[in-house]
C-alpha cells in the first residue's frame, strides 16, 4: 500500500452511525401542544389587531378632513374669493339640504369655486369615508372659506366615530385653522 492509503481508505468507509428512523412525523401530543399555542396567540392577537385597524380608520379620516380643509383654505386665498367644501353625490352641487340622518359628510367631499350651487366649478373631490359615523354641526351648512382664508361664521366640529370605541374631533375655528382632539366624541 502506498503511504497515506490507509488514511484515504478510512475517510471513504461508511460508519455504522445512527440508524435512520422508519417513521417520520409528529406525535399527537406535539400536535395538540402546537394547536394550543396557536389558539392562545390568536386569542390575544385578534382583538389587538382589530383595535389597531379601528385607530387607523380614524387616523385616515382625520387626514382626509385636514387635507380637504387645508386645500379649501389655500384655494380661497389663491383665487381671492369664496370657496366651499361640502358633501356631494352628483359632483355638481352641495348635498346638505336633503340630509335627514346627519350623515351626509360620509359621502364624497367636493371642493367648489363659489357657494357650491349648480354651475359652480368643481375643483377637486375627496373620497368617501369608511367610518360608521361622521357629523359636522347641526345646521346643514357647508364649510366656506372667504378670500382671506377665514371661515368666519362657519366654525364647528367634525365628530368622527369609529369602531372599537375609537374616534376624534376635528375642530375648525372662525379663523380657518384646524385642530384635532383625539378623544372619542359623543356619537
Confidence band, pLDDT 50/70/90 cuts, at residue 105: confident
pLDDT digits (tens, 9 = 90+) for 48-66: 899 999 999 999 999 999 9
The domains located in the chain, with CATH, are 52-181 (3.55.40.10)
Contact 37, 100 (CB under 8 A): no
Q: Could you tell me which residues are beta bridge partners of residue 102?
A: none
pLDDT attached to residue 96 = 74
**Burial call 147-184: b when 16+ CB within 10 Å, e when fewer:** eebbbeebbbebbbbbbeebbbbbebeeebebebeeeb
What is the 8-class DSSP label of residue 58? H
14 falls in which pLDDT band (50, 70, 90)?
A: low
What mean pLDDT value characterizes the chain?
A: 84
Which grid coordinates are listed for 86?
A: 361640502
Distance CA 108, CA 87 (A): 6
Contact (Cβ atoms closer than 8 angstroms) between residue 169 and residue 159? yes
Query: Which of residues 15 and 105 earns the better pLDDT score?
Result: 105
Does 150 score more than 60 pLDDT? yes
Angle (nearest 5°) at CA 178 between 177 and 182? 155
Q: Is the pLDDT assigned to residue 6 strictly greater than 60? A: no
pTM for the full predicted model: 0.75
In contact, 139 and 104? CB cutoff 8 Å: no
pLDDT band at 2 (very low <50, low <70, confident <90, very high): low
pLDDT in tens, 78-91: 999 999 999 988 88
Is the separation of the CB atoms in 97 and 91 below 8 Å? no
- 148-157 CB contacts, 8 Å cutoff, 24+ apart: 148/77, 149/73, 149/74, 149/76, 149/77, 149/176, 150/174, 150/175, 150/176, 151/73, 151/175, 151/176, 157/185
Q: Give the DSSP H or E segment for 38.
A: helix 28-79
Amino acid at each position: 500500500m502506498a503511504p497515506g492509503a490507509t488514511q484515504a481508505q478510512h475517510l471513504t468507509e461508511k460508519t455504522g452511525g445512527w440508524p435512520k428512523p422508519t417513521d417520520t412525523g409528529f406525535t399527537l401530543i406535539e400536535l395538540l401542544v402546537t394547536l394550543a399555542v396557536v389558539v392562545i396567540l390568536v386569542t390575544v392577537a385578534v382583538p389587538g389587531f382589530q383595535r389597531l385597524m379601528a385607530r387607523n380608520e380614524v387616523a385616515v379620516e382625520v387626514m382626509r378632513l385636514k387635507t380637504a380643509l387645508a386645500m379649501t383654505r389655500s384655494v380661497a386665498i389663491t383665487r381671492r374669493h369664496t370657496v366651499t367644501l361640502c358633501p356631494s353625490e352628483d359632483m355638481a352641487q352641495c348635498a346638505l339640504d336633503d340630509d335627514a340622518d346627519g350623515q351626509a359628510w360620509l359621502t364624497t367631499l367636493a371642493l367648489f369655486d363659489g357657494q357650491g350651487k349648480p354651475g359652480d366649478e368643481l375643483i377637486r373631490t375627496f373620497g368617501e369615508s369608511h367610518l360608521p359615523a361622521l357629523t359636522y354641526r347641526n345646521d346643514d351648512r357647508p364649510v366656506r372659506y372667504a378670500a382671506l382664508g377665514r371661515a368666519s361664521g362657519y366654525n364647528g366640529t367634525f365628530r368622527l366615530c369609529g369602531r372599537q370605541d375609537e374616534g376624534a374631533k376635528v375642530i375648525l375655528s372662525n379663523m380657518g385653522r384646524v385642530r384635532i382632539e383625539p378623544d372619542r366624541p359623543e356619537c
